[in-house]
């Protein structure tokens, strides 16, 4: 991604979701020991691979029929997340970001991850709680912290942490700020989206900034963009 585009549109004010996902990846990458192996399930364009240059990084993806799933270049194993071609307890770490909402049976994916992960290995997982439909028609679920705890407990995982990425003000501000570009996209396609994002940027930035500074008022954070999780495989 162009650094200027990232700075302007994917900063913590305008797009807290993307910014916080990258912050999470940077954080967990430091928990991965050098020369250990990690598999990135649903890796897409392998955008997070550079964060794990000190490890033995392996990628998987379905690479199906939609625009977001046509990435095959750079993918080590083309396979569904529900049926991974790895032996039992073969990986030290598993990365799975923004994937579970796109599979019909997320519990089967977690079972597979538990199967291939070594005892005391770590699963780095993120899922959305509040997001518009995307990658249609392959968009099935949104998650609560209680669903995530249940998935962990049912599949031999100890919950190390489940953290919300932002509160209700960030969620509301995000959707308000991107409503006009999204409507332009509905009417005129991708070009319309870009035009709407540029033309209305000052207004949208002001809206997003207002809700950004209000977000600390939401201390419970039961309405969030995404959850970021770390699960440890039990012995």
* Average pLDDT rounded to a whole number, residues 119-144: 96
Q: By the 8 A CB rule, do 165 and 21 touch?
A: yes
Can you tell me which residue has the tokens 């997001």? 131
pLDDT per position as a tens digit, 184-223: 999 999 999 999 999 999 999 999 999 999 999 999 999 9
Residue 73 pLDDT exceeds 80: no
* Average pLDDT rounded to a whole number, residues 53-61: 97
- Domains identified in the chain and CATH numbers: 26-167+219-233 (3.40.50.150), 168-217 (no CATH)
Instruction: Single out the residue of 151, 149, 170 nearest to residue 217, CA to CA.
Output: 170
Q: By the 8 A CB rule, do 53 and 84 touch?
A: no
pTM of this structure: 0.93
DSSP per-residue codes, 118-151? EEEEEEEEEEESS----STTS------HHHHHHH
């Amino acid at each position: 991604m162009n650094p200027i585009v990232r700075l302007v549109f994917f900063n913590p004010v305008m797009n807290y979701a993307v910014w916080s996902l990258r912050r999470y990846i940077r954080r967990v990458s430091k928990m991965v020991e050098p020369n250990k192996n990690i598999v990135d399930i649903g890796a897409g364009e392998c955008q997070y691979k550079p964060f794990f240059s000190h490890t033995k990084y392996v990628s998987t993806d379905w690479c199906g029929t939609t625009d977001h799933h046509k990435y095959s270049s750079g993918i080590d194993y083309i396979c569904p997340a529900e049926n991974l071609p790895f032996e039992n307890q073969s990986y030290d770490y598993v990365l799975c970001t923004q994937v579970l909402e796109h599979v019909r049976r997320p519990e089967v994916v977690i079972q597979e991850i538990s199967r291939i992960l070594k005892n005391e290995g770590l699963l780095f997982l993120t899922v959305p709680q509040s997001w518009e439909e995307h990658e249609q028609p392959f968009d099935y679920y949104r998650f609560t912290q209680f669903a995530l705890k249940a998935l962990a407990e049912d599949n031999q995982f100890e919950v190390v942490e489940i953290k919300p990425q932002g509160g209700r003000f960030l969620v509301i501000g995000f959707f308000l700020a991107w409503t006009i570009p999204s409507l332009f996209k509905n009417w005129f396609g991708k070009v319309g989206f870009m035009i709407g994002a540029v033309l209305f940027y000052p207004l949208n930035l002001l809206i997003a900034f207002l809700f950004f500074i209000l977000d600390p008022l939401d201390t419970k954070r039961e309405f969030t963009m995404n959850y970021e999780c770390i699960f440890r495989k039990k012995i």
